Amino acid sequence: MPGKHSEEELEAEAADDEPREDLGGLTTQELRQGQEAALALEDMMALSAQTLVRAEVDELYQGVRPLGQGRFGRVLLVTHRQKGTPMALKQLPKASTTLRGFLYEFCVGLSLGVHSAIVATYGIGIESADSYSFLTEPVLHGDLIAFIQPKVGLPQPAAQRCAAQLASALEHIHAQGLVYRDLKPENVLVCDPACQRVKLTDFGHTRPRGTLLRLAGPPIPYTAPELCGPPPLPEGLPIQPALDAWALGVLLFCLLTGYFPWDQPLQDADPFYGDFVAWLASGQPQDRPQPWFGLTPTADALLWGLLDPHPRKRCPVSSVRHYLGQPWRQQEGTGAEGDEGDQVDGE
């Protein structure tokens, strides 16, 4: 009958939702979502390669000032020479960037569309003699690292605003079948001096869900523990949104304390991480590690969920919204003028 499913169809649908060892712990549905995202990106890259504007940047845009500099390129504030429109231009030198690498980052930004907490990528790619460039909306107040006071963090209302907006941005990325993989304060741009609005940027490390990856180099605080052990498949670990949930948990800890909870998530090598895992196991207040002093039970619950060492048990980034509007610090110091009493923006 129409609208009815046979027992075989229901069993097949249930099997799609079961993690499989031969897929590195992914479900069939999760793998399919990542494959669809990868194919869509390939199509977009092929089209973008055909529509690249071939010109020197200075012919089209007037440079105003630098906005950022990284290992692989730089970001400039520019204005259109004819219309005067301000934009941000990301420039990647050909000496260290392949055409495919450029097109990939450009098209990931385009694929994310318009989201209030993601830097909008404009559909203009430029190939010059020595570089590839693309244009985005300008965000003029630097990155989040400049707003985090060492050993203090951010005022609690600002921390909750950032948490709400970044969780919403990551949810949007995950809904497209992608995993961001590079969440850190340097990749969060601030839209105003009071840190009311933030936007996620830099999608060079973003990959479709299920992409096989190995850890390159030593782990850092944002590295999820599943990346630190032997991968479930010879080719590497099939990546999941749980990697972003872990990084979000570490970032929120930094926003609340002004320092990292550990240097690397290795129980035998890092005593701070070892103490955290022991506290998780016991759940006893007397086992609270020193870096976690001053946080409330609400903050504990949020961070325990995001920082569960087991990726399948880890809470999704959307769990943040359930903890907004509740105190995350035992004692809140005075924040920036205008922060007290501000409402948290849930996207």
Buried b (16+ CB within 10 A) or exposed e, 224-259: bbbbbeebbeeeebbbbbbbbbbbbbbbbbbbbbee
Any idea of the CA torsion for 276, 231, 223, 109, to the nearest 10 degrees? Answer: -140
Cβ–Cβ < 8 Å for 255, 148: yes
Instruction: Determine which one of 143, 182, 244, 339 is catalytic.
Output: 182
The maximal CA–CA distance of the chain, rounded, in angstroms, is 66
Burial of 269 (0-12, 13-18, 19+ CB in 10 A): middle
Q: Which residue type does 62 have?
A: Q
Residue 119 DSSP code: P
**Nearest Cα residue to 25 out of 305, 233, 337:** 233
Residue 288 DSSP code: -
Please state, in angstroms and rounded to a whole number, the distance separating the CA atoms of residues 42 and 45: 5
Any idea of the CA torsion for 279, 216, 239, 275, to the nearest 10 degrees? Answer: 0
In the residue annotation, 339 being an active-site residue is answered as no
For every residue of 217-286, DSSP letters joined together read SS--TTS-GGGTS--SBTTBEEP-THHHHHHHHHHHHHHHHSS-S-SSS-TTT-HHHHHHHHHHHH--GG
Please state, in angstroms and rounded to a whole number, the distance separating the CA atoms of residues 194 and 98: 38
- Catalytic positions are 182
